[in-house]
Structure 1
Amino acid sequence: MLVLQQLSLRRGVKLVLDRASVTLQPGEKVGLVGRNGAGKSSLFSLLAGRLQPDAGDVSIPPRWRVAEVAQDMPETEAGATDFVLEGDTALMEAHAQLAAAEAADDGHAMAEAHHAISEAGGFDARPRAQAMLMGLGFRSDQLDAPVNSFSGGWRMRLQLARALMCPADLMLLDEPTNHLDLDALVWLEAWLQRFEGTMIVISHDREFLDAVTRVIVHLDDAKLTRYGGNYTAFEEMRAERMLQQQANFEKQQERMAHLQKFIDRFKAKASKAKQAQSRVKALARMEKIAPVLTSADFQFEFREPLSLPNPMLAFAGVDCGYRSAADDGGDKVIVRGVNRSVLAGQRIGILGANGQGKSTLVKTIVGDLAPLSGQITAGKGLTIGYFAQQELDVLSLGDGPLMHMVRLARDVGPPGREQELRDFLGSFRFVGDMVTQPVGTLSGGEKARLVLAMLVWQRPNLLLMDEPTNHLDLSTREALSMALNEFEGTVMLVSHDRALLREVCDEFWLVSQGSIGPFDGDLDDYQRWLLEQAKAAAREPKRESAGKRAGAADDSAAAGSAREAKRSANATAVPGRGSGASPSTTGNGNATPAVAPVDKRAERQAAAAARQQQANALKPLRQELNRVDNKLGVLFAERDGLEASFATGAGTPADIAERGKRLKALGEQIDELEQRWLELSTQLDEASESAA
């Protein structure tokens, strides 16, 4: 089990953990929750061994493998699949063991290495890695693309896949959903539910936590508190505990007030001095139950729009995509033929698998991309408030929040005095010196709050939000949900946060296969639709491969049938009429086509000849298949015997080395023959199906 006992940790002057203790059992799925800055990532660093505690103990079983998602951006020319495979540390160690054994020409070590590779699942490691990548949204043509060819968000998905590939006993996941869209998130949930090891996950997605965790550890006030159940159960139990704590505090305050009243009344009287003094000591000794001093939940609201045009937007035959260079030979259309309207007061959730064009549509609406064709008509007085996925990346890292607001008020509006801007930032928890603190030193959650503040200041009537919750903690997400529900304008939302989509949106648009239309259903229906699409996508490559093989077989069979028909036609032609003879004529001189009489016997003979011809053609394949089958039987028997001899340990070192070399050679022969057996079987099956 994993035991944290009386753990204390400081980061600079901040006390992150103060004599904190918690015990986790093997196989438990744990959610680590707490406010931004509480120290959750520091605790992960302790568990991973990158930090040492100032006091207390961290006890992890020594044989446990620990896996976590690396936060650095990978820089390598290795292919995506190979990069993910390197995350399987057991398999990589086995391959290194084999390479060392081959370099030393040590047959016994080679045999052990081959066994280790087999135990590590080396025979199916590559398909597993590729299935993982496709589950996380990669296309089949990207599986071997260089890691450096992917954008930052996709490289972080590669880091996630690499961590999942590790056969871990303890998996540490810090915000694993930040760079995922909804279809990849659903896949990840299903994968983590099947994971058999111990898992600790930091996430601000309540539905994700509900789906994958059964224990919640709350980090608050430098203490760790364990709750049984998922996040929803944690919220209920914590609320009940806080109410009980508040009640106990109020009772204690009454008791302390009673004691103080007695002290104040009788401390000056000699006859009561001893009793008063004892009550002073009792009051000092009394354990003070801490009041429920939860910091005020963050709240904000969008100001009332100055106008509400209706419709706000109208699309007529709009194609969304990217303009090509002059010599590229055509624009790249991502979403075509958009004919829709956006009305005042609508709450629209934009759904769609990764790469289908959700962000392209959003960028076209906001004007970052021009429509490739068609027309977008904006309502009079339309003001768009746009929260982009990369909005945090374009903040000026050297400037403080106040400078950002001053520029916004000056360049975009509405205008505002400095004190007014300071007061406004204070409502978003930027107080005191924080308003001049460089943005580069702020946390991700603080940067996201600054972007929200800048959005609210602009007083929009259409909010266009692309993944706004990536860096928000749970309390800020809840504040955003409440603010969006109270907003009087229109909301268009792209998000993988299902709780936010459920709470805010009352209709959905689906972007799929180059088009956009209404999705008639809720998010549960959409998740089922995603699952069906994933199954269909998994079947498609098999269908295409079978189609190609069948097509080749059909072409061959068609060519053979044409040749046979030609021979039959020549053999049964009317005597005396060659290929250049004129057609026969009737009494009136009109030409009539020559019609050969139907000969059933000749047809049966031709069919029998065709079957015999096919049997003759397939005979060599069947004979070779039998030879391969027999040879495999012999090799399997020899391999089993060698493996049994290794188990007994009999023989001299030279004999063992020789058997190890032979075992390796047998493995290579068996692989080649199995591949040939598969090819021959496929050819025979296809030929039989074609003949049928």
Structure 2
Amino acid sequence: MIKVERLSFSFPQKELYNDISFTLEEGQHCAFIGTSGSGKSTLIDILMDPESYLFDGKLEMDPECTIGYVSQFSELDSTKDTTVFEYIGERFLKIQNEIQSICAEMETSTDLEPLLEKYQLALDAFDAMGGEDYESNIHKQLNLANLMKRRDSKVTDLSGGEFKLIQVMKEMLNRPDLMIMDEPDVFLDFDNLNALKKLINSHKGMLLVVTHNRYLLNHCFNKIIHLENTEIQEFDGRYIEYNFSLLETKIELQEIAVAEQEEIERNDKIIDNLRVIATYNSEASRGRALKARVRFQERLEARRIKAPFVAIKQPNIQFDMDHEIEDTVVISVNNFSVAFDELLLDKVNFEIKSTDKVAIIGANGTGKTTLLRDIFKNNHDSIEINADAKVAYLSQLQGEMLKDSNTILEEFIEAGFKTYDEIRLYLSNYGFEGEIVSQKIASLSGGEKNLLQLAKVSASQANVLLLDEPTSHLDTYTQIALEKAIGEFKGAILMISHDFYSVVNGMDYVLIIEDKTIRKMDLPEFRQMVYASHFDKDYLEMEQKKKSIETKIELALKETNFELAKGLIDELEALIKLL
């Protein structure tokens, strides 16, 4: 077990944790969630190397505890000329080669005693790490992730998503006491994401995974740790049950808040009446009654319930445009082809109209980003942009659109804002308040950088948005805010995304890349295709029903109809048990 007790830690410019406590126990698969910039990655760094941080509180961990780690910023090492099998089994192959070398040495040596001792030590180490079955275990993992066909491929030939999966396999095969993964899902296509889900669910050890991916959250974890506003909340159970618990609490707190507000308003009227009476009646008892009532009112205000994990502030993302375009084609792609080492896209054709919201779907490495970037640059003979179109671009390579050496304020001065006050007011809608606007962009989290990109896209007032993986690194609350902004936008959107929920909640249709070309698919067909591949036949219907009930609960809360909300909560609870 790993135990954190009353841990506090701050950077000079920001307090991250205030007396937080949590535990991780054997066999738990824990999702670590929280808004962007709340300190999740820093807390992981503290767990992995506590001696490097000056924190208050206590961290209890067996000194022999081994930790496996998969970073969100993984890169292929182009200097390593190894196969996938050799990369995953590197640790085993090293000892195996050592054993073979000792055996070869024993054949010619006259002094066998030290070699026998060395041989036994190597053999014990190999057995202790499960070496006897390592080859079959690698094959099991490759089959689980549908990557057996890549067993003898060079690591350098893998896509980024495939490489991330074999990194996960390699760490899991080493059987650490605690396996930590920091946003392992970023940029994974849906097939690779599903493979990651299978790997997580097959792992027998203790897992701590930072993720904002709703697909993984809904299907992989039996414990939730939620970091928010320097505090932590633990929940033993699935993410879907955690959200249900939050919704229950929200109803309870809103009902109490309404009752408290009514009491405060009633008390305000009594105070006003006592003050009126006190102006023409100077009896001491009247003054004492007024003071007592004011003190009572102050106590009512002080005990107002605060619920940092229930009412988390979403950024106010809005995509406004300076002019609309009538219903016409804004992007035309005719016979577009692209190749690097091999042909990726061949004679692709499609059109985007002025109000279309379209997702480009396809496996990692099929040319989606190249296509979107070429549309933005508009210097390709096969691409035509309407003269009235004003285009904004969000890149998955954040350094393309943000300069790390800039402060946030400098970035937005360069984007056309006139004063720092104007920038501060604008960025407050996106949750950037106080001293953070003076920080260098390089110091921000991945989620904060993507949110800044969204703010820049919005400030451009473009009527055509090109968004390359806009939900990557974004916390779930910002993802939902983005979906709302997309739904309200009156212009055209062409979006690359592997986030199933963002696609089905915001797009009109999808363009699927298959066999080096693109075909159009309507949303119901796409949704059905995904569910048929990865869920049982009733799951789609139940999830749609769940969303319908949640919408009804939100409407009931807006109308302060708490009896209706409680009735719907019972209905929702029964449905969640089936999911």
TM range (shorter): 0.7 to 0.9
Q: Does the CA contact (< 8 Å) of 2:159 and 2:365 recur in 1?
A: no
Deviations along 1:592-614, one digit per CA (max 9) or x if unpaired, are: xxxxxxxxxxxxxxxxxxxxxxx
TM-superposed CA distance for 1:185, in Å, is 0.7
1:240 aligns with 2:248: yes
Q: Secondary structure at the match of 1:312?
A: strand
Shift in Å, 1:511? 0.8
Matches within 5 A, 1:208-227: 208-227=216-235
* Counterpart position of 1:65: 66
| 8 Å CA contact retained: 1:308, 1:382 | no
**Closer/same/farther in 2, CA of residues 426 and 271 from structure 1, 3 Å limit:** closer
Q: 1:450 and 1:125 mapped to 2: Cα distance?
A: 45
**Residue of structure 1 in register with 2:540 after alignment:** none
Are residues 1:302 and 2:319 paired? yes
What amino acid does structure 2 have at the position aligned with 1:345? T
Q: Distance in 1 between matches of 2:254 and 2:403?
A: 44
Instruction: Answer whether contact 2:391 2:463 (CA < 8 A) is retained.
Output: yes
Tell me if structure 2 keeps the 8 A contact 1:464–1:491: yes
Give the counterpart letter for 2:220 in structure 1. Answer: V
- Residues 390-438 of structure 1 show CA distances to partners (whole Å, capped at 9, x for unaligned) of 13444222223344334344xxxxx978765554344334456555543
Corresponding residue for 2:154? 145
- Is the contact made by 1:98 and 1:110 (CA closer than 8 Å) also made in structure 2? no
One of 355, 361, 367 as aligned partner of 2:365: 355
TM-superposed deviation, 1:321: 0.7
Relative distance call for 1:512 and 1:107 in structure 2 (3 A) is same
Is the 1:4–1:59 contact (alpha carbons within 8 Å) kept by the matching residues of 2? yes
- Of residues 369, 384, 390, the one that matches 2:391 is 384
2:506 counterpart (499, 504, 519): 504
Work out the CA distance in 2 between the residues paired with 1:474 and 1:153.
21
Q: Which residue of 2 aligns with 1:589?
A: none
> 2:143 and 2:362 mapped to 1: Cα distance?
16
Matched, 1:180 2:188: yes
Greater relative contact order: 1 or 2 (C-alpha under 8 angstroms, separation 6 or more)?
2
| Contact preservation (8 Å) 1:156, 1:179 | no
| 1:295 CA drift (Å) | 5.7
| Separation of aligned partners in 1, 2:187 and 2:358 | 22
Q: Distance in 1 between matches of 2:146 and 2:368?
A: 14
Output one character per residue of 1:290-325: Cα deviation in whole Å (capped at 9) or x when no partner: 434656321121114431451223344x141148xx
CA contact 2:222–2:238 (8 Å) conserved in 1:
yes
- Alignment correspondent of 1:513: 515
Tell me the residue number matched to 2:126.
117
| Residue 65 (structure 1) shift | 3.3
Indicate how the Cα distance of structure 1 residues 360 and 528 shifts in structure 2: closer, same or farther if over 3 A, else same: farther
Q: TM-score, normalised by structure 1?
A: 0.62
Quick one: distance in 2 between partners of 1:49 and 1:100?
35
**8 Å CA contact retained: 2:3, 2:22:** yes
1:366 lines up with 2:368 in the alignment: no
Say what the alpha-carbon RMSD is for the aligned residues: 4.5
Q: State the Cα deviation string for residues 149-173 of structure 1 (Å, max 9, x = none).
A: 8898876565444323321332211
Secondary structure at the aligned position of 2:196 is classed as helix
What is the CA distance between 1:379 and its match in structure 2? 3.4
Taking the aligned partners of 1:13 and 1:457, their CA distance within structure 2 comes to 27
Q: Which aligned pairs between 1:439-458 and structure 2 lie closer than 5 A?
A: 439-458=441-460
Q: Distance in 2 between matches of 1:422 and 1:217?
A: 32
The answer on whether the counterparts of 1:306 and 1:459 sit within 8 Å (CA) in structure 2 is no
- Distance in 2 (alpha carbons) for counterparts of 1:127 and 1:473: 37
Partner of 2:474: 472
Question: What are the residue-to-residue correspondences of 1:130-529 with 2, within 5 Å?
Answer: 145=154, 159-248=167-256, 254=263, 288=303, 290-292=305-307, 294=311, 296-304=313-321, 305-308=323-326, 310-316=328-334, 318-322=335-339, 333-367=343-377, 370=380, 375-409=382-416, 423-431=425-433, 434-519=436-521, 521-523=525-527, 525-526=529-530
Task: Give me the whole-angstrom Cα distance separating, in 2, the residues matched to 1:171 and 1:242.
Answer: 33
The residue aligned with 1:622 is none
User: Once the two structures are aligned, what percentage of the paired residues are identical?
Assistant: 22
Shift of residue 113, structure 1, vs aligned partner? 3.9
Residue 282 and residue 245 in structure 1: after superposition, are their counterparts in 2 closer, same or farther (change >3 A)?
A: same
Runs of 5+ unmatched residues, structure 1: 324-330, 410-414, 532-692
Pair 338,115 (structure 1): closer, same or farther in 2 beyond 3 Å: same
8 Å CA contact 1:351–1:508 kept in 2: the answer is yes
Give yes or no for contact 2:33–2:226 (8 Å, CA) kept in 1: yes
Structure 1: distance between partners of 2:425 and 2:12: 30
Give the deviation of 1:4 after TM superposition: 2.8
Q: Structure 1 residue 49 and structure 2 residue 63: aligned?
A: no
Task: Within 5 Å, give how 1:562-601 maps onto structure 2.
Answer: none
CA distance in 2, matches of 1:472, 1:194: 27
> In the TM superposition, what whole-angstrom CA distance separates every residue of 1:434-459 from its partner, at most 9, and x where no partner exists?
55543223332232222112212333
- Which residue matches 1:84? 88
Say if 1:80 and 1:517 are closer, same or farther in 2 by CA, change over 3 A: same
The 3 A distance-change label for structure 1 pair 407 and 142 is farther
| CA positional deviation for 1:530 | 8.9
Q: How does 1:582-661 map to 2 (within 5 A)?
A: none
Write the distance in 1 (CA, Å) between the matches of 2:153 and 2:315: 45
> Quick check: 1:312–1:379 contact (8 Å CA) kept in 2?
yes
**434-443 vs 32-41, greater mean Cα deviation:** 434-443
1:337–1:130: structure 2 CA closer, same or farther, 3 Å change rule? Answer: farther
- CA displacement at 1:63 relative to structure 2: 5.8
Q: Are the counterparts in 1 of residues 70 and 168 from structure 2 also a CA contact under 8 Å? A: yes
Structure 1's 34 and 251: CA in aligned 2 closer, same or farther, altered over 3 A? same
Distance (whole Å) between structure 1 residues aligned to residue 393 and residue 312 of structure 2: 30
Residue-by-residue CA offset, 1:477-528 (whole Å, 9 max, x unaligned)? 1111111111112222211211111111232222112122134622451465
Letter in 2 for 1:355: G
Alpha carbons 2:37, 2:444 under 8 Å: kept: no
1:21 counterpart = 2:21: yes
Instruction: State the alpha-carbon separation in 2 of the partners of residues 338 and 332 from structure 1.
Output: 16
How many residues align structurally?
A: 512
Output the CA distance in 2 between the equivalents of 1:30 and 1:461. Answer: 41
- Decide whether the 8 Å contact of 1:91 with 1:122 is kept in 2: no
Deviation for aligned residue 1:332: 5.0
User: CA 1:65–1:420 in structure 2 vs 1: closer, same or farther (change >3 Å)?
Assistant: closer
* Cα distance change of structure 1 residues 442 and 44 upon mapping to structure 2, 3 Å threshold: closer
SS of equivalent to 1:210: helix
C-alpha distance in 2 between matches for 1:380 and 1:281? 66
Which one has a bigger Cα radius of gyration? 1
Q: Which residue of 2 aligns with 1:556?
A: none
